[in-house]
Chain A
Amino acid sequence: MIYIYDGTWDCFLTAVHHYYYDKQDVSNIESGLCYKPNLIDDYRAITTDIIKAKAVEEAILHKISAESLENLQRCFFSEIEGREMWILKYIRLGFKIGMRIDSMLGDKTVLDVLIPARKVGMECHRMLGLLRFELLEGGIYYAKIQPDHNIISFISPHFKNRFADQNWIIHDTKRKIASLYNTKKMLLSYMDLSTIPELHADELKFQALWKNYYKHIAIKNKINPKLQKNFMPKRYWKNLTEKKPD
């Protein structure tokens, strides 16, 4: 049996709930977004049931640990193919042995979840630095990102604390989602902006100053593109103000 869910965390947890209570032999849990039906497998479409989802979350929290729940969430939002079954296996092992699972750092079942979770953690940290806002007409700071993993919900609270007195939008244009903040409330929503307001009259001045600073701060005798790309892979450059052509 293959479970098909809608790609969200809550729907995935609902599927986990069904797996435990309906006692079906589940060979895979797949997102409906990428599932291609075939004639051999049985499949069942799962619809989100928020009560069931919360029940599973509570169970992970109490029967395993808060640390595990965080790692499972991060692994899920890595969007790496195959993560659903890694998470299910981890949960099954965790329900058996409890929080000891957090110490099993050399175990394959655990590492299948930990490695994607670490990748997500790494990209989150990187993005706190590499995200760039542009000031738009009307006083909104707007940032475009295209991260490898779906990290917007993990990074937004940092910007809410830091830029508490600014209106801002962080837009993941790859996934067409955005977090929006208006100095009081923050919300996450689907967003497909085709027309973005014009840049603020001062914006290009500060972009030019920043580019100029960036150019000057490198020491010419020590130029080291390999080291630079090691820390800052090229795929992140397209949204960096300092890497935009003049």
Chain B
Amino acid sequence: MDLNEKLGILADAAKYDVSCSSSGGTRKNKNGVGDSHACGICHTWADDGRCVSLLKILLSNECIYDCVYCINRSSNDVPRASFTADEVIELTMNFYRRNYIEGLFLSSAVLRNPSHTMELMLEIVKKLRTEHGFFGYIHIKAIPGADERLINEAGMYVDRMSVNIELPSDKGLEVLAPQKPKKALLKPMHQINNRIIENKENKRLFKKGDSFVPAGQSTQLIVGATPDKDLSILKLSEALYGNFNLKRVYYSAFVPTVTDPRLPALIKPPLLREHRLYQADWLLRFYGFEADELLSKTNPNFNPELDPKADWALRNLHLFPVEVNSAEYEMLLRVPGIGVKSAQRIITARRVGRLTFDNLKKMGVVLKRAGHFLTCQGRTFDSYSSNEAIVKESLISAKLQPKSKKPVLGQMSLFSLVNDSGAEENMSEFLLTDSPSNNPQWLSYYNQPQDGRLLLSDIHL
């Protein structure tokens, strides 16, 4: 099989992994080629609008596992291929030197056994760093079940490591990925986190030595393949950020690549739901929100009509309006229509003068939304109303404006503010995918509490 054909197969096999980020690296070029850019660089955008930053490939898609949701499951009839170490290196070096990519994202199906797979991956990253003078970004997957020493050694050569948590609940794993018990997934995450902390401490004490996974670890899970509610998913993310110091949790709308009676019969991937989860994830990480503020047991799923922040503000109208010239930064962040950038600008600008609505507009605040929640020097905005129905109506219609420069639904970037996104929403799609599956395997599951406790208890190992 020629290299081109292999690349096609192993790119196809890797593309459902959502992580693309090349951020958080600080590696410098030491007499070789490559370095890291702190906030990451996107090199192109594929036809589905996702950013391509790293060469994202599988080392092999010849898997011994048979996870129901996965395109590479052993019982699925797809073409199989495996790269040699030199092929991966040749592609990485030549793509990097032409500025196609920011580095390599290497993952793999489980070839023969976890340790064997991890060993092959280790060989590649070690060669890239030591023989080819490559200082670009490297993200690899830790293969659950692989020898701890292999994962620890690989961590010394890469910038980021991740373990996929795959599904939001252990019941989901039990039904759809019987060969991956949750403990096996959480163990390497725990181990990587401990090594990162230990390595930082050693570096602080001895002021030298290489970094272990300097850009931190991330994970991803599939949304819509199991009946888990948004609340459970968000609580899980919150716990992962809190307990494992994860840099990112990625959400992947389930794309039906295989049909199976255990999987929901989706017509389209639940993209709106994925989008809402990213919005809420941003709120957790940058806006000081907690999962319990955004969703509750009585209200366990996101509102398809409104983004999570607007939805929260509408339920908490009694806290508004706030005065722009005196409100705390934390409160400004909670105003729909104000993002991190504009909140920071407000804090800076009000040190040297009092702000008016005109100033706010020039600073990038979306007044159509923020106008309902703010006062400027005691005055309210023209369209201000304290009536919930009117505010709601206006927040929804602010989105249905003609297609101006509104960001389009999809994976978020640093430049798209969480509260301003969300055009192009297709309600029928959301409702369709949210309806419970009629599968008997899931029925008992519906009767269990949907508050994320199932997996959370396992995180505190």
Contacts and interface: CB of A to CB of B under 8 A. Distances in A.
Contact of A218 (B41, B48, B410, B424): B48
Interface stretch (A73-81, A85-93, A203-211): A203-211
B33 A163 contact: yes
Contact of B98 (A111, A212, A241): A241
Interface string A159-171: 1011111100000
Contacts of A100: 352
Interface string A201-240: 0100010111011111111111111111011100000001
Contacts of A222: 48-50, 253, 255, 269, 271
A19 interface: no
Contact of A212 (B8, B43, B97): B8
A129 interface: yes
Interface in A123-176: 125, 128-135, 141, 143, 158-159, 161-166
A240 B363 contact: no
A135 B100 CA distance: 13
Given A212-B7, A230-B49, A231-B413, A221 B15 contact: no
Interface in B89-104: 91, 94-95, 97-100, 102
Contacts of A164: 29, 31-33
Interface stretch (A2-10, A21-29, A37-45, A102-110): A102-110
A111 B360 CA distance: 12
B32 A165 contact: yes
Contact of B46 (A103, A132, A135, A217): A217
A209 B7 contact: yes
Nearest to A236: B44
Interface in B1-52: 3-4, 7-8, 11-12, 14-16, 28-29, 31-35, 37, 41-52
Contacts of B407: 230
A242 B271 CA distance: 26
B145 interface: no
From B14, B44, B48, B51, residue with most partner A Cβ within 10 Å: B44
Residues of A contacting B: mostly: helix
Contacts of B353: 104, 106-107
A231 B35 contact: no
Given A216-B11, A218-B15, A242 B359 contact: no
From B3, B51, B94, B355, residue with most partner A Cβ within 10 Å: B94
Given A103-B352, A218-B15, A130 B33 contact: no
A163 B97 contact: yes
Contacts of B98: 132-135, 141, 206, 210, 241
Interface residues of B, number: 67
A128 to B, nearest CB: 5
B399 to A, nearest CB: 15
A152 to B, nearest CB: 15
A105 B56 contact: no
Contacts of A131: 99
Contacts of B11: 212-213, 216-217
A219 B52 CA distance: 12
Contacts of A105: 345, 348-349, 359, 362-363
Interface residues on A, range: 35 or more
B100 A210 contact: yes
A99 to B, nearest CB: 10
From A213, A221, A230, residue with most partner B Cβ within 10 Å: A213
Nearest to A164: B29
A108 B15 contact: no
A227 B410 contact: yes
A166 B99 contact: no
B351 interface: yes
Contacts of A215: 8
B352 A111 contact: no
B310 to A, nearest CB: 21
A170 to B, nearest CB: 10
Contact of A162 (B15, B33, B271, B358): B33
A122 B414 CA distance: 12
Interface in B350-389: 351-353, 355-356, 358-360, 362-363
A219 B31 CA distance: 38
Given A135-B98, A161-B29, A228-B47, A125 B41 contact: yes
Nearest to B20: A217
Nearest to B8: A216
B15 A209 contact: no
B408 interface: yes
A135 B94 CA distance: 10
A242 B44 contact: yes
B277 interface: no
B34 A162 contact: yes
B96 to A, nearest CB: 9
Contacts of A210: 95, 98, 100
B55 interface: yes
Contacts of B31: 164-165
Nearest to A131: B99
A129 B4 contact: no
Contacts of A228: 45-49
24 contacts: A105-B345, A106-B349, A106-B355, A106-B359, A107-B359, A132-B98, A133-B99, A135-B98, A159-B99, A162-B33, A163-B97, A164-B33, A165-B33, A216-B8, A217-B11, A217-B14, A218-B46, A219-B15, A220-B48, A224-B47, A227-B409, A227-B410, A231-B45, A231-B413
8 closest cross-chain pairs (CB), A and B: A106-B359, A227-B49, A218-B46, A224-B49, A218-B47, A216-B11, A222-B48, A105-B349
Given A106-B345, A228-B45, 19 more contacts: A100-B352, A104-B349, A105-B362, A107-B359, A132-B100, A134-B98, A158-B37, A163-B99, A209-B94, A210-B100, A212-B7, A212-B8, A213-B7, A216-B15, A224-B47, A224-B48, A226-B424, A227-B49, A228-B49
Interface of B: 3-4, 7-8, 11-12, 14-16, 28-29, 31-35, 37, 41-53, 55-57, 91, 94-95, 97-100, 102, 133, 253, 255, 268-269, 271, 345, 348-349, 351-353, 355-356, 358-360, 362-363, 407-410, 413, 415, 424
